[in-house]
């Protein structure tokens, strides 16, 4: 049998270097995961902001359409009242003659 003698300090150094490399790799992976999570959160916030802006624009468009419809209804009602209240007189008789005719 051949026995190989390994110094304890060399073994400890190799273990320490390996452990350090593993810790560094784990830290890098954690940092990458944190960066990815931050990017996902930013993207979600941007999407929510875009959705809110679209909803606000839709509400403004609906309000404008309602205002236009109300204006059209008011103009239509005013026009109809104007038609019914204005009766053109083709044979205009002054009011004095009407009163005189009624009194006779």
Question: How does pLDDT run across 32-87, given as a tens digit for each residue?
Answer: 999 999 999 999 999 999 999 999 999 999 999 999 999 998 888 777 766 555 55
3-class DSSP state for residue 6? coil
In whole angstroms, give the CA distance from residue 73 to residue 1.
109
Residue 93 has pLDDT above 60, yes or no: no
Q: Has this prediction a pTM greater than 0.85? A: no
In whole angstroms, give the CA distance from residue 81 to residue 97.
29
Residue 101 has pLDDT above 80, yes or no: no
3-class DSSP state for residue 86? coil
Length of the chain: 104
Tokens for 97?
């003659």
In whole angstroms, give the CA distance from residue 65 to residue 93.
47
pLDDT of residue 76: 80
């Amino acid at each position: 049998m051949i026995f190989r003698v390994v110094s304890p300090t060399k073994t400890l150094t190799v273990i320490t270097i390996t452990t350090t490399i593993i810790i560094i790799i784990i830290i890098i992976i954690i940092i990458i995961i944190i960066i990815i999570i931050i990017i996902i959160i930013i993207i979600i916030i941007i999407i929510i902001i875009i959705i809110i802006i679209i909803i606000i624009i839709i509400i403004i468009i609906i309000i404008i359409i309602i205002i236009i419809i109300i204006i059209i209804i008011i103009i239509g009602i005013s026009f109809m009242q104007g038609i019914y209240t204005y009766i053109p007189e083709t044979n205009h008789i002054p009011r004095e003659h009407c009163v005189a005719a009624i009194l006779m």
